[in-house]
Amino acid sequence: ELFAMFFNSVTNGGKTTLAEKLKNMLPNCDIISQDDFFKPESEVETDERGFKLYDVLDALYMDEMVTSIRNWMKSPASSGVVTEEPENTCDNLKNVHILIVEGFLLYNYEPLNELWNRRYFLTLPYEECKRRRSTRVYQPADTPGYFDGHVWPMYLKYKNELEENASMQVDYLDGTKSQEELLSYVYSDIIQELNKLRE
């Protein structure tokens, strides 16, 4: 039995940390990260302002990402680490293989739309997002004005497209909440969904 959940978020929204923590709480769980599918810098387009356009689908090998997800679904690895859990939960989940897909541009790429069970979107307000971004080191490094000129506008565009798509079922999460609170909510939600599948 397979269960795939997708985590999307604004830059520095906390999706990777959340995904890693969930992996340690869930049996037979693996993570596929969109960041692993970026094209090399030389293949990423540059706009008229000199900004490298990383926050668009064309900056990624999306077809390879879909292939990786499909390959996992054909033969899911069962190397997930199971932490101490209530026995009934373990019994109920031991035959389930769980995949967490995490990235920043997952929900407006059509070929991914049929592969999910649950979709989450971590949001952050502008100031907090900019503050967190400024504490991270990127390769290549952010150029002056890059966040305001490219990263944030692309996030707003993408989020607006999602919100306008009535058929898109996404659970929006407040990225300013503590990791513990977010983890507790998502874990409970997943267990509930898995129990529904087993009924």
Active-site residues: which are they? 35
Is residue 188 in a domain? yes
What's the domain count of the chain? 1
pTM of the model: 0.87
User: pLDDT at residue 93 above 80?
Assistant: no
Residue with the bigger pLDDT between 160 and 93: it is: 160
* DSSP per-residue letters across 31-81: EEEGGGGBPPGGGS-B-TTS-B--SSGGGB-HHHHHHHHHHHHHS----PP
> What pLDDT score was predicted for residue 156?
94
First to last CA, the chain: 13
Is residue 87 in a domain? no
Give me the CATH number covering residue 73.
Answer: 3.40.50.300
* Average pLDDT over every residue of 141-161: 91
Query: Among positive and negative, which fits the CA dihedral 72, 7, 115, 98?
Result: positive
Is residue 192 in a domain? yes
Residues of the domain holding 69: 2-82+93-197
> What pLDDT score was predicted for residue 83?
39
Phi (first) and psi of residue 51, to 5 degrees: -80, 130
Using CB atoms within 10 Å of the CB of residue 150, give its burial: 0 to 12 exposed, 13 to 18 middle, 19+ buried: buried
Is residue 191 in a domain? yes
Is residue 88 in a domain? no
Percentage with pLDDT > 90 across the chain: 61
Structure tokens belonging to residue 118: 């649950």
